[in-house]
Amino acid sequence: MKHKPNIARLIPILPLKISHIFDYLLVDTIFSRDMSKKKSKIKAPVSPKQAAVNPDLLTSIKPASNNSVELHILAKPGSKQNCLTGIDNQNIQVQVNAPPVEGAANAELKKYLASVLDVKQSSVQLQKGHKSRNKVFEVSNMSAEDIQAKLLAQVKTNK
């Protein structure tokens, strides 16, 4: 819905130049926005390719090429213990018991994911996010449905 400026508020500035009126309208529309603290819950769109594969599959777990799966992870380093705290369409939240120093948290996260998924550590590779909390891991030789089932079971045991 577009904001309509109040014409009565424009009367005092009519002798000004046209450019000043546009500046006034711009400021008026910027500061008259709804600044409520309600957070909208926006669901991530599911890609058509992924929806065709499995409509129940979360978008944080994406089938990749050559029998591998991408996991979008939000790492929380420096916690008391390693645990999965939640899974949604954007990320898999994982607390890691290692400081974010010189790749220690990445190595611990890789080790933890391998233990949760019951695969070798060589099957789990960090693709993106070496220095970020948002990471993309690639797990080879495992289906996306199996990974989702194991991760959801782990989240339920942590709660």
pLDDT at position 119 is 92
Rounded to whole angstroms, how far apart are CA atoms 158 and 155? 5
| Integer Cα distance of 51 and 47 in angstroms | 6
Instruction: Give the pLDDT confidence score for residue 58 in this predicted structure.
Output: 77
Where are the alpha helices (H) located in 104-143, listed in sequence order? 104-117
pLDDT of residue 127: 92
Q: What share of the chain is helix, strand, coil (3-state, %, to 5)?
A: 35, 20, 40
pLDDT tens-digit readout, 100-140 = 888 899 999 999 999 999 999 999 999 999 989 999 999 99
Kindly report, residue by residue over 28-37, the tens digit of the pLDDT.
444 445 555 5
**Domain ranges within the chain, ordered by starting residue:** 1-35, 54-158
This prediction has a pTM of 0.63
CB 139 within 8 A of CB 119: yes
Residue 41 has pLDDT above 50, yes or no: no
Query: In which band, very low, low, confident or very high, does the pLDDT at 3 lie, cut at 50, 70 and 90?
Result: low
State the CATH class of domain 54-158: alpha beta
pLDDT in tens, 50-99: 433 445 667 888 888 778 999 999 998 888 998 898 888 888 899 999 88
